[in-house]
Amino acid sequence: MGCNDKDKNSTNKITEIELQHGKLSPREFLKYFEKKVFKTIKKYKLIDRNDKICVAASGGKDSTAALYLIKKYFEKYSLPTENIFALVIDEGIKLHRNESLANLKKFCKKEEIKLKIVNVQDEFSTTLDQSAEKIRKLGKKPCTICGIWRRYIMNKQARLEKATKLITGHNLDDEAQVILMNQFKANVSLSAGLGPITGVEEHELFVRRVKPLYFCSNHEIELYTKIKGWELDYCDCIYSHEGYRSQVKGMLNEFEEKYPGTKHGIVKSFLDVLPLIKERQKEQCNSKIKICSCGEPANNEVCAACKLKEELLN
């Protein structure tokens, strides 16, 4: 799919921002946005004083904003910023990852944040580009596979680096999409792992994933990063249109356009019932977390990543 150069970095100067509740100058908007993120961190206790933070970065707008704001939060509350590092996974998507990786390297250098790069190729002996055709032949979507690889590597690498929290750039749009997808597919039990702090129960092999941008919309994050003037790639990944999510995203955007506040309404009402969903999941889930032969935690004897590796190699 991709996008043209015009879309990559809008150079139009933003002079006024119209939100649902009124108009703000760019300066006021930056304040409003940062306040919202810090409030989420505090309200949901996303960060403890002694946390070592791994930020799941990609060079995209969401994770770059999360990385920057976590550092800003640490500075504001005099926490040790050397306890923050960024982790990026190179899935081997030539037309997408190369540029965002270059931008991320520059950003981390400027902000003096340690960056660790892990290649899917090293872990799984293939890349997304190399496996895309085979993935489709198996009746799967590249995004599903990419998601399995990313979750596996992120958790493993964050744990190896002794991180106590894994920060992701998931935003309000992402969460509203997943809530609806799980509803549409009658997979409500999967929603038990959602929320600003993911997971149902703690486990020593899982690094807790937290989402400081939980209440920020895609549009707000885009505005924030554009006002900041960061060099970012705003284009969609070449595989993103193939997924089920892309259709739900289109539908939700259309609805939001007609009925502003729809996404927020979905997430807010979901948070009201989340404790019940988690409770029910705990009661029903009497099978303990298993350890796959690769050493990683799994729901079954073989973890999803190892199962996939076998399918792709055969």
User: Strands 84-90 and 114-119: what pairing?
Assistant: parallel
Task: Report the C-alpha gap between 306 and 18 in whole angstroms.
Answer: 48
For ligand SF4, the binding residues (CB under 6 A) are 91, 93, 128, 142-143, 146-147, 237, 239-240
Q: Which is nearer to ligand SF4, 231 or 242 (CB)?
A: 242
Q: Residue 124: enclosing H or E segment and its boundaries?
A: helix 120-124
Smallest distance, Å, CB 154 to ligand SF4?
Answer: 12
Contact of 195 with 269, CB cutoff 8 Å: no
The least distance separating ligand SF4 from the CB of residue 143, rounded to whole angstroms, comes to: 3
171 within 8 A of 221, measured Cβ to Cβ: yes
Q: How far is the CB of 240 from ligand SF4 (least distance, A)?
A: 4
The CB-of-246 to ligand SF4 minimum distance in angstroms stands at: 9
Residue 276 DSSP SS3: helix
Least separation in angstroms between CB 146 and ligand SF4: 3
Our CA dihedral for 133, 87, 267, 247, rounded to 10 degrees, sits at -20
Question: Nearer to ligand SF4 by C-beta: 71 or 141?
Answer: 141
Q: Closest CB to ligand SF4 among 142 and 196?
A: 142
Q: Which is nearer to ligand SF4, 71 or 309 (CB)?
A: 309
Distance CA 123, CA 152 (A): 10
Tokens of residue 230, six digits:
């960061």
Query: Cβ atoms within 10 A of the Cβ of 257, count?
Result: 9
Of the chain, the end-to-end C-alpha distance in Å amounts to 29
Q: How far is the CB of 57 from ligand SF4 (least distance, A)?
A: 12
Return the number of the residue (147 or 199) whose C-beta is nearest ligand SF4: 147
Sign for the pseudo-dihedral over CA of 81, 86, 234, 268: negative
